[in-house]
Amino acid sequence: MRAILCIALLSLTACTNGGVMTPSGGGTQAQTIDVNLTLNPSSQTPAGTAGGYSPAVINVAVGTMLRFVNSDGFAHTATLIPGATTFPAGSPYSATAQTQSGSALSQTWSTGNLAPGASSQTLLVDRAGTYLYGCFYHYGGPMRAEIVAR
């Protein structure tokens, strides 16, 4: 009985160390996208002009988790533009973007209003593909970016 407990504890320790050392491994550690219209400059991407999020294009592995953190001094959202391969010229959003929804990248999702300093829900990277998203308030800023899941 005592030996079994000891082995269990050793396994837990090994798991924790592995999770910290491996950027995309483990599954519990979410990758973070910084949300900041003030500090993240606009840049050109294959989908059009991005800005307000860092990185502007993030590469993630299927099976990992993503989270948005607002480091700006005012509110933003990060909201999927369903089915888009280039950024639409005008805002694609309705007021529903202001309410948090979704937990999987390939389905409809929005962080809702992210107050200064706030973190979003985690999104499971459930399916390979290119996902464009932006901010309900500052889409034309431009405030939009891209997630590439493989």
**For residues 64 and 79, which CB has a smaller minimum distance to Cu ion in the complex?**
79
Minimal distance in Å, beta carbon 109 to Cu ion?
16
**Buried (b) or exposed (e) across 78-93, using 16+ Cβ within 10 A?**
bbbbeebeebeeebbb
Other beta carbons within 10 Å of 59: 12
Minimal distance in Å, beta carbon 5 to Cu ion?
50
Does 144 sit near Cu ion (CB under 5 A)? no
Structure tokens at 143: 């405030």
Alpha-carbon distances, residue 53 vs 24, 72, 127 (angstroms): 20, 10, 22
Applying CB under 5 A, among 64, 76, 124, 142 the residue interacting with Cu ion is 76
**For residues 53 and 131, which CB has a smaller minimum distance to Cu ion in the complex?**
53
- Stretch near Cu ion under the rule CB under 5 A, chosen from 75-83, 88-96, 97-105, 121-129: 75-83
